[in-house]
Structure 1
């Protein structure tokens, strides 16, 4: 094997172990941290921490003070600045993840609304088709009225037929009777 073989990757010369964390795990941690920073427990804890720090470095003898008031509490300022410098990006990361989740949820809601609208329109068309079909279908009242009309026509025809038969029968009787008398 040649020394200048560029097709074979070199082995890593890094001595430190690599720390690989999935973006999902890191994001969940950032959200948990941001959620914790918004709790009353965190605010009370930070207030107590700062109060103890200030009282310790103000009221105790100078030999016990580790961040004297004469230096304007430089160490406390640095610690709070460090905390803020980590908190801001973590909060933004958590907010971005929340925005992404909201965007996905909004998209699902939009799709669900489209499906509901399509279903509603389909049902409205079906109801309209049923109404149109029901107008074409003979209803019970319509059939009754038609049957009554037909029955009346039949009765009228029968009466007309009976009257005609009565006139015919009378005239035939008269003819018979007239032949006897004449």
Structure 2
């Protein structure tokens, strides 16, 4: 039988490494793996989409286009960079629109996912509230039924008066 020169910790670690229900420890490296936030792009797209839907964006876009057109019409011809049909301006606006549309859709999808989670929570709260209301309604009904079976103070007084009157009659009958 071969002799195992490994320490107890090493043998225990080797046994644990063969098991599938225990996660393996990651090797330490000199250079760390780059990590990124998976939602960072989504958050950025939401910020851009929110900005694209503001009046401030419309004012800046309108001012930029007016400046572009005015520069290319009234500037000296040597300083003009986009002549009358404004092909470069059209290209820039098309590029902006081609990026804005998917960013807006991504932001809408993220908002839809958040809304879906909120709706599910609201449904759960609504179901619990309904169950609580039904429980309270049953409890109220049972209390009403119980109260109907309970003797009231006036009923007890009338019964005691009747008994007292009967006792008084019995005493009178015994005296006679």
Question: Normalised by the shorter chain, which TM-score bucket?
Answer: 0.7 to 0.9
1:34 aligns with 2:52: no
Name the structure 1 match of 2:79. 64
Deviations 1:87-116 (A, max 9, x none): 000000000111111110000000000000
Q: Give the one of 116, 123, 128 matched to 1:115.
A: 128
In 2, Cα distance between the equivalents of 1:153 and 1:119? Answer: 51
How far the C-alpha of 1:160 sits from its partner, in A, is: 2.8
Q: Could you say what secondary structure the match of 1:23 adopts? A: coil
Match for residue 45 of structure 1? Answer: 60
* Count of residues in correspondence between the two structures: 144
RMSD: 1.7
TM-score under structure 1 length normalisation: 0.75
The alignment partner of 2:151 has SS state of coil
Structure number, greater radius of gyration:
1
Distance 1:21 1:67, change over 3 A: farther
Task: Indicate the SS of the match to 1:22.
Answer: coil
> What is the Cα deviation at residue 121 of structure 1?
0.7
Gaps of 5+ in 1: 1-18, 166-182
Alpha-carbon distance in structure 1 between the residues aligned to 2:74 and 2:35: 46
More helix by share: 1
Name the TM-score, length of structure 2 as normaliser. Answer: 0.77
Give CA deviations for 1:30-61 in whole Å, capped at 9, x if unaligned: 10000011111111000000000000001112
Closer, same or farther: CA 21–46 of 1 in aligned 2, 3 Å: farther
Matches within 5 A, 1:92-103: 92-103=105-116
Distance in 1 separating the partners of 2:159 and 2:131: 41
Say yes or no: does 1:155 pair with 2:155: no
